[in-house]
A and B are shown apart, each in its own frame.
Chain A
Amino acid sequence: MIQARNVSVDIAGKRIVAGVDFDARPGEIAAVVGPNGSGKTTFLKALSGELAYSGQVVLNGRDLREMKPVHVAVERAVLPQATVLSFPFTVREVVKLGLVGGRSGALPDEDARLPERALARVDLDGFAGRFYQELSGGEQQRVQLARVLCQVWAPVLDGKPRYLFLDEPVSSLDIKHQLIIMNIARDFARGGGGVVAILHDLNLTAMYADRIFVMHRGRLAATGSPRDVLSDDMIEKVFDCRLKVGALPAANMPFVLPQSAA
Chain B
Amino acid sequence: MAQQSIAAPAGVMMAGEGDRSARARLIMGLSCVVLALAVFLSLTSGASDASAIKVVGDWLFGANRGDVVLDARDRLIVYDIRLPRVMLGMLIGAALAVSGAVMQGLFRNPLADPGLIGVSAGSSLGAVAVIVLGATLLAPLTALFGALTLPLAAFCGGLTVTLVLYGVATRHGRTSVATMLLAGIALAALAMALTGILIFMADDRQLRDLTFWSLGSLAGATWQKIGSVGPIIVAALAVTPFLARGLNALALGEATAGHLGIPVQRLKYTAIIGVSAAVGASVAVSGGIGFVGIVVPHLLRLLIGPDNRYLLPASALLGASLLLLADAVARTIVAPAELPIGIVTAISGAPFFLWILLRKRGVIDL
Of B17-25, B129-137, B208-216, B343-351, the stretch lying at the interface with chain A is B17-25
Contact A97/B259 with A89-B305, A92-B18, A130-B18 known, Cβ cut-off 8 Å: no
Give bound CA distance, A92 to B5, whole Å.
15
Q: Report chain B residues within 8 Å CB of A70.
A: 261-263
Give bound CA distance, A128 to B256, whole Å.
21
State which of B5, B14, B306 has its C-beta within 8 Å of the C-beta of A89: B306
Find out whether the CB atom of A86 lies under 8 angstroms from the CB atom of B261. no
Most chain A C-beta atoms within 10 Å of own C-beta, residue among B249, B255, B261 = B261
Q: Report chain A residues within 8 Å CB of B109.
A: 86
Find out whether the CB atom of B261 lies under 8 angstroms from the CB atom of A97. no
Give bound CA distance, A130 to B20, whole Å.
12
Most chain A C-beta atoms within 10 Å of own C-beta, residue among B5, B18, B260, B301 = B18
State which of B16, B110, B259 has its C-beta within 8 Å of the C-beta of A50: B259
Find out whether the CB atom of B253 lies under 8 angstroms from the CB atom of A49. no
Find out whether the CB atom of B263 lies under 8 angstroms from the CB atom of A87. no
Indicate whether B252 reaches chain A with its CB closer than 8 angstroms: yes
Contact A83/B256 with A89-B306, A90-B305 known, Cβ cut-off 8 Å: yes
Indicate whether B65 reaches chain A with its CB closer than 8 angstroms: no
Indicate whether B1 reaches chain A with its CB closer than 8 angstroms: yes
Contact A93/B20 with A87-B251, A98-B260 known, Cβ cut-off 8 Å: yes
Indicate whether B328 reaches chain A with its CB closer than 8 angstroms: no
Give bound CA distance, A255 to B321, whole Å.
66
Interface residues of A in 100-153 (CB under 8 A from B): 100-101, 112-113, 115-116, 126, 128-130, 151
Indicate whether A176 reaches chain B with its CB closer than 8 angstroms: no
Indicate whether A80 reaches chain B with its CB closer than 8 angstroms: yes
Give bound CA distance, A48 to B261, whole Å.
11
Shortest Cβ gap from A107 to chain B (Å): 15
Indicate whether A250 reaches chain B with its CB closer than 8 angstroms: no
State which of A83, A87, A113 has its C-beta within 8 Å of the C-beta of B110: A87
Interface residues of B in 12-47 (CB under 8 A from A): 13-14, 16-20
Find out whether the CB atom of B14 lies under 8 angstroms from the CB atom of A69. no
Indicate whether B268 reaches chain A with its CB closer than 8 angstroms: no
Find out whether the CB atom of B16 lies under 8 angstroms from the CB atom of A128. yes
Give bound CA distance, A86 to B305, whole Å.
12
Contact A100/B251 with A68-B263, A72-B261, A88-B306 known, Cβ cut-off 8 Å: no
State which of A73, A80, A87, A126 has its C-beta within 8 Å of the C-beta of B261: A73
Find out whether the CB atom of A97 lies under 8 angstroms from the CB atom of B1. no
Shortest Cβ gap from B156 to chain A (Å): 29
Nearest A residue to B365 via CB reads A84
State which of A69, A89, A101, A115 has its C-beta within 8 Å of the C-beta of B264: A69
Give bound CA distance, A187 to B45, whole Å.
67
Nearest A residue to B306 via CB reads A87
Indicate whether A74 reaches chain B with its CB closer than 8 angstroms: yes
Interface residues of B in 193-229 (CB under 8 A from A): none
Give bound CA distance, A78 to B261, whole Å.
11
Indicate whether A77 reaches chain B with its CB closer than 8 angstroms: yes
Per-position contact with B for A200-212: 1 when CB-CB < 8 Å, else 0?
0000000000000
Find out whether the CB atom of A50 lies under 8 angstroms from the CB atom of B260. no
Shortest Cβ gap from B229 to chain A (Å): 30
Find out whether the CB atom of A69 lies under 8 angstroms from the CB atom of B305. no
Give bound CA distance, A64 to B51, whole Å.
69
Nearest A residue to B255 via CB reads A50
State which of B17, B261, B263 has its C-beta within 8 Å of the C-beta of A129: B17
Give bound CA distance, A101 to B259, whole Å.
10
Nearest A residue to B109 via CB reads A86
Give bound CA distance, A97 to B308, whole Å.
12
Find out whether the CB atom of A100 lies under 8 angstroms from the CB atom of B305. no
State which of A73, A74, A80, A87 has its C-beta within 8 Å of the C-beta of B255: A80
Q: Report chain B residues within 8 Å CB of A74.
A: 261
Give bound CA distance, A89 to B308, whole Å.
11
Find out whether the CB atom of B259 lies under 8 angstroms from the CB atom of A77. yes
Indicate whether A85 reaches chain B with its CB closer than 8 angstroms: yes
Shortest Cβ gap from B172 to chain A (Å): 9
Q: Report chain A residues within 8 Å CB of B64.
A: none
Find out whether the CB atom of A85 lies under 8 angstroms from the CB atom of B252. yes
Indicate whether A91 reaches chain B with its CB closer than 8 angstroms: yes
Give bound CA distance, A219 to B134, whole Å.
63
A-B contact pairs, 17 of them (CB 8 A): A49-B258, A69-B264, A71-B261, A72-B261, A77-B259, A85-B251, A86-B109, A88-B301, A90-B19, A91-B18, A92-B17, A92-B19, A100-B245, A101-B260, A112-B13, A129-B17, A129-B18
Report B's interface with A, CB cutoff 8 A: 1, 5, 13-14, 16-20, 108-110, 245, 248-249, 251-253, 255-256, 258-264, 301, 305-307
**Other contacts beyond A85-B251, A87-B251: 4, CB < 8 A:** A73-B259, A87-B306, A90-B18, A97-B248
